[in-house]
Structure 1
Amino acid sequence: MPVVTDHDAVPLTPVYTIVIRESGEASVDGHPVETLPGQDARDAALANIQERAARLDRPVRVNAKEPDGSTWPLIVDWDGEVTPLDHPHPTPPPAPPAARRAPEQPAATAAAPVHLPPPTGEPVIPGPAPTAPDVDWMAPLPSEYQQMLDAVKAADASGNLPAAEVAAKDLEDALDDAYGPSHPYTVNVVAVRANIAVRSAKWAAGLELHMRAAWLRHDQQAPREETLRLARNAHFCWKHLVAHCPKHPGTDNPAQAQQHVQDLLRVLRHVEVEPIIITTTEEWAAERLPAAS
């Protein structure tokens, strides 16, 4: 029995699009979906949608397009239940001009991470920590560190990610010396380094940096949404170590994935991410990592 019985209660947006190609590959909203060995592309795509539903904490609407051109409207819930519909999804009414907003962006997928700090290298510091009102997570760095931050931005803007990483590490070390490793200034630069590592396809480094930033933010009760994004992207980096990614050949490393999986699970549980992400991590580890243990 499908979980979703009141179809009209499911919000009209977002509507995600799964495309299954004749080659057997699948994509979600244009982003390729990675599969485990022997896993059907449809199952992998639905698991991707399941994670999105979990992050929204509600069922979501999906159009699944088959290689023969047919389209199947579906409702997918966070627990993986799929409800086929016998009619297309309703067209949402246009928003009044004063209320128009940018379309909702999907959560991070295996093909393209989102919710990372911006590519300029500017720290994302989205609000004051509730238990420490004197610590402002949105405060800019003190002026004496502005030149070092500018060096990070300049290297990043020029596309020189190795130089941006070195400059960001120097900035983190300086802030660590002055304020300590847990200060918002330092932690936000750790998040910048995590972003650079992902964009450089350095998944092991990205995993460690994302885990560290998420843990430290959580312990200081920093604004939660950014903390969750960092934890989710740690999971994203770890999956790239587990399985081969066609876009970044040679970057998978099951031995490192095995080495870090327990640390990742501790972080995910510590910051209390959506249960489906923890379950996915456990399933991937059981499926792919025994040989590396």
Structure 2
Amino acid sequence: MSTPLVTIALASDGRSWVDGTEVQATEGGLDQARAAAMGHVAQIARQRRGPVRVEATDPDGAVWRVVVDPERGILEPGEARELPDDPDANAVAAAYAQGVAAVNQALADGLELVATRRACELEAEAIAQHGSDHPYVWRTRELRAHTAYRVGMAGMACELYLEAARGWRELGSDAYWGAIQRAYAMWHHTQDEEGRTVWLGEQLVDELRLGASRAGGGKSAGTLRAVLRRIDELRMEGFVI
């Protein structure tokens, strides 16, 4: 997997451009322009879920090169290496392995509330370390959904899986279909928790329509028809006034 190149151009008046697009700094000056440009590159690395090479040109023509890695920050080219070929975080990252094991053990011991709290903590750690749209965040969101189901909150589990599905769709990830399938399964277990069954069904329909191309034609269409049919049934049964 090759590492993409991003170019930065810096001007002495505090302006900067990343791949030809101007990036606005909060204040003037070269240092602020450099910081704004590197912040923009860091966002690109997170969205691509992998490192990017940076070639930056200062106002005096000096060129400097670094690698921006979403996991390890700014590296010298010699320090950088390719990330494992697991952009969807199918394998549990080493940094979270102990926490995930603790959640699973708590569930096995019948300590569902402990598991739920630890899953929330893991998600907060992932957001703090990688930003809110990183694959690790969506995997921990799915872990939260699983623990919600285990404590009898299928509606909450459905909602969390839907959030994960949206995140995967925005990343263009094949993990979308797994998340939307789990959301659909949780929806079937929802017993009108606080009147949310129809509302969740409508959210599921909206997401299935948005993710139809990602989910893959026939499977998505069949699920969509099933959800719409069930929503109609619920309305006829009086779940919605």
User: Which bin holds the TM-score, normalised by the shorter protein?
Assistant: 0.5 to 0.7
CA apart distance, 1:281? 0.8
Alpha-carbon distance between aligned partners in 2 of 1:289 and 1:240, rounded to the nearest angstrom: 17
Alpha-carbon distance between aligned partners in 2 of 1:157 and 1:208, rounded to the nearest angstrom: 24
Q: Is the CA contact 1:155–1:163 (under 8 Å) kept in the aligned structure 2?
A: yes
Amino acid at match of 2:117: V
Q: Deviations over 1:164-190 (max 9, x none)?
A: 111101110121122122111111111
Q: Is the CA contact 2:99–2:118 (under 8 Å) kept in the aligned structure 1?
A: yes
Q: Is the CA contact 1:130–1:221 (under 8 Å) kept in the aligned structure 2?
A: no
Alpha-carbon distance between aligned partners in 2 of 1:160 and 1:153, rounded to the nearest angstrom: 10
Match of 1:227 among 157, 176, 179: 176
Alpha carbons of structure 1 residues 267 and 142: separation in structure 2 relative to 1, 3 Å: same
Partner residue of 2:110? 159
CA apart distance, 1:254? 7.5
Partner residue of 1:286? 232
Alignment gaps of 5+ in structure 1: 1-128, 242-250
**Which structure: greater helix fraction?**
2
Partner residue of 2:122? 171
Alpha-carbon distance between aligned partners in 2 of 1:132 and 1:282, rounded to the nearest angstrom: 35
Alpha-carbon distance between aligned partners in 2 of 1:276 and 1:168, rounded to the nearest angstrom: 32
Q: Deviations over 1:171-222 (max 9, x none)?
A: 1012112212211111111111122223333111111111011110111122
SS state at 2:93 partner: coil
Taking only the aligned residue pairs, the percentage that are identical comes to 21
Q: Is the CA contact 2:47–2:134 (under 8 Å) kept in the aligned structure 1?
A: no
Partner residue of 2:147? 196
2:162 paired with 1:211: yes
Q: Is the CA contact 2:49–2:135 (under 8 Å) kept in the aligned structure 1?
A: no
Partner residue of 1:81? none
Alpha carbons of structure 1 residues 233 and 140: separation in structure 2 relative to 1, 3 Å: closer
CA apart distance, 1:130? 11
2:206 paired with 1:236: no
> Comparing both chains, which one has the higher relative contact order based on Cα–Cα distances under 8 Å and sequence gaps of 6 or more?
1
Q: Is the CA contact 2:208–2:224 (under 8 Å) kept in the aligned structure 1?
A: yes
Q: Is the CA contact 2:100–2:119 (under 8 Å) kept in the aligned structure 1?
A: yes
2:195 paired with 1:255: yes
Amino acid at match of 2:162: M
Partner residue of 1:141? 93
Partner residue of 1:244? none
CA apart distance, 1:133? 4.7
Q: Deviations over 1:143-170 (max 9, x none)?
A: 3x45433432331232322211111011
Alpha-carbon distance between aligned partners in 1 of 2:229 and 2:92, rounded to the nearest angstrom: 41
Amino acid at match of 1:231: I
Using structure 1 for the length normalisation, give the TM-score.
0.46
Alpha carbons of structure 1 residues 158 and 204: separation in structure 2 relative to 1, 3 Å: same
Amino acid at match of 1:202: M
2:221 paired with 1:275: yes
Alpha-carbon distance between aligned partners in 2 of 1:280 and 1:167, rounded to the nearest angstrom: 35
Alpha-carbon distance between aligned partners in 1 of 2:176 and 2:228, rounded to the nearest angstrom: 21
Q: Is the CA contact 1:210–1:233 (under 8 Å) kept in the aligned structure 2?
A: yes
Number of residue pairs matched by the alignment: 153
